Chain A
Amino acid sequence: MSLLEVTGLVKKFGVQTAVDGLNFEITPGRCLALLGPNGAGKTTTLRMLSGLLEPTSGTIRFTGGSEKDIRGIIGYLPQYPAFFNWMSGREFLSFAAKLAGLSGKEAAARTEEVLERVGLKESAKRRIGGYSGGMKQRLGLAQAVIHRPKLLILDEPVSALDPQGRREVLELMREMKRETTILFSTHVLHDVEEISEEAIIMDKGRIIVQGDLQKLLYDHEQPLIRVKARNLPIEWVRGLRKEPFVRELNETSDGFTVLVTDVSLARSSLLRSIADLEIEVESFEIGATSLEDLFLRAVSAG
């Protein structure tokens, strides 16, 4: 049972196709990351899901709610949240709460609760115009969750923040995950590994891979061996390409990396050659490709 089902979602701006036939669903209670380089169509997708943009074709179906206006069950944080700078933080949150349909009393109570939650209680009386970037981002998160949405949509929630602000926002997202379903976009892989359970990698308006993050990592994980050494004979390194266990070979400034099919075979073969050729090895590391490798490969292949 999914919270939301997207089928054949397309958005065209004139002749340019920003989103080209997306199909996916969101499971309630899970955190889904939408990953892709700039211009992949992430923001356009999120804006369609949040009801701000009309899709050119395709359907977005919420199974979670019967509301006719999907905006009521969604909380949305845009990439560059902008507020009314003449309002105070508290005024803005109370305004947002009432816009979302909370009664005066509920809105006041929820405003205080959320202010406390995002750590803006002390600055609640100050004008938003004087807030720092990190504070604005936290205020943006606060307005997105103020009406207890079933789905929280965050567009690049941490991309513009310094390390400190980034940590704070990721921490808040982790807390919010317990209460709601989160869909967020990012181009930073580290964020995905840190908090999401599922991922969709997008490029040029299409989905390249999608699924459970652990499974994605597992499926796309390939064993690799990284060798750093001083006097590497170039002919030998190049010759490795012909070995049956080598899938891909990349030369680096101080050595080389090989993606291998059979680790044990590769290890014994490489170590034997190193000993025979008396290569001065500095490090010999066996590992696996990371999500970053997967991302880069997926994007360059697509």
Chain B
Amino acid sequence: MSAWLLLFRKEMLESARNFKWIWIPLVFLALGITNPITTYFMPEILQAGGVAAEAAKLIPTPTSEEIIVKSLSQYGTLGMLVFALSFMGIVAGERQSGSAIMVLVKPVSYGHYITSKWAAMTCITLAAVTLGQLGTGYYMNVLFDDNVYSEALVSGLVYALWLILLNSITLLLSCLMKAPAGIAFVSVAFAALLSLVTQLLGDAMRWSPSRLTAEAGRLVEDSGAGDDLWLLVLITAALIAILLTLATAASRRMLR
């Protein structure tokens, strides 16, 4: 356990020293506050763009639920890309440089090596999504006088689970592949493909973790938690466990 904590601390310290702990949460904060602000100023923006004041007023103001859901969907596109790009080298980089050897030649468990990295990725992800959702909540409160903090946080948590699953895929690929750009590409392509197939096949893909994104949105709307939410959470957790097991097995073999 103390060896695991040591490795985890090293990962956290590394992310702090290379500023991942600063810029990733800042990106999410920016994504989180953009929607309430642009929505609030939309009439002015439209008028400045030459749309008549009367016409601008006709555009319905989106509900706060819609604003939160829009923030979430941005975490799923831009946010996911940020994670894929910043974590693609998490193992591949250490293997390439040779620093992985310096750790693995000590009596360290490969499982600890992988899970400590995963835990550090998960901490950044949770912090970033929470900060983004707090940003959304704050501006909703200030601009629309609407208190949606709890909805924003709960839906953010569910959405984060989807992002954590994608991070686990990036981690596994980072043990298997050498080229960082390829790792990021495959991760993103996998997420896009899974979302697409899930939408196309509908009921047959009820179990698909990408439906967590829709469930996170439903949590904000009045309809409340869908029937499948807990099923999806369980399936996603199981998939993460499988991915971590595979990554551990792959890391045993990666030193050639």
Which residue numbers of A lie inside 8 Å of B, CB to CB?
13, 47, 50-53, 67, 69, 71-72, 74, 76, 78, 80-84, 86, 95-96, 98-101, 143, 147
Within residues 82 to 101 of chain B, which ones have a CB less than 8 A from any CB in chain A?
97-99, 101
Chain A residue numbers with a CB within 8 Å of B142 are none
B240 to chain A, nearest CB (A): 26
> Which single residue of chain B is at the shortest CB-CB distance from A44?
B256
Are B14 and A84 in touch, CB under 8 angstroms?
yes
Q: A81-B98, A82-B98, A82-B102 are in contact. Are A100 and B256 (CB under 8 A)?
A: no
Interface SS majority for chain B: helix
In residues 1-21 of chain B, which contact A (Cβ within 8 Å)?
A: 2-3, 6-7, 10, 14, 17-18
Q: How far is the CB of B43 from chain A (nearest CB, A)?
A: 48
Contact B101 A82 (CB under 8 A): yes
In the assembly, what is the distance between CA of A84 and CA of B13, in Å?
11
Question: In whole angstroms, how far apart are the Cα atoms of A67 and B106 in the complex?
Answer: 13
- In Å, the complex CA distance between A72 and B109 comes to 12
CB pair B256–A78 under 8 Å, yes or no, is no
Interface size class of B (residues with CB under 8 A): 20 to 34
Task: Tell me whether B103 is interfacial, beta carbon within 8 Å.
Answer: yes
Contacts of A47 on B, CB cut-off 8 Å?
255
A69 to B106, CA, bound (A): 9
Assess the B99–A84 pair: CB atoms within 8 A. yes
Which B residues contact A (CB, under 8 angstroms)?
Answer: 2-3, 6-7, 10, 14, 17-18, 97-99, 101-108, 255-256
Residues of the B chain whose Cβ atoms lie less than 8 Å from the Cβ of A52: 101, 104-105, 255
Q: Top 6 A-B pairs ranked by shortest CB distance? A: A82-B98, A99-B106, A72-B107, A71-B107, A82-B97, A82-B99
Are B102 and A100 closer than 8 Å at their CB atoms? no
How far is the CB of A58 from the nearest CB of chain B, in Å?
A: 18
* CB-nearest residue of chain A to B101: A78
Contacts of B102 in A (CB 8 A): 78, 81-83, 96, 143
- A92 and B70 CA atoms in complex are apart in Å by 44
Can you list 21 residue pairs at the A/B interface with Cβ under 8 Å?
A13-B256, A47-B255, A52-B104, A52-B255, A53-B255, A67-B107, A71-B105, A78-B105, A81-B98, A82-B97, A82-B99, A83-B99, A86-B14, A86-B17, A86-B18, A98-B3, A98-B6, A99-B6, A99-B107, A100-B107, A147-B106
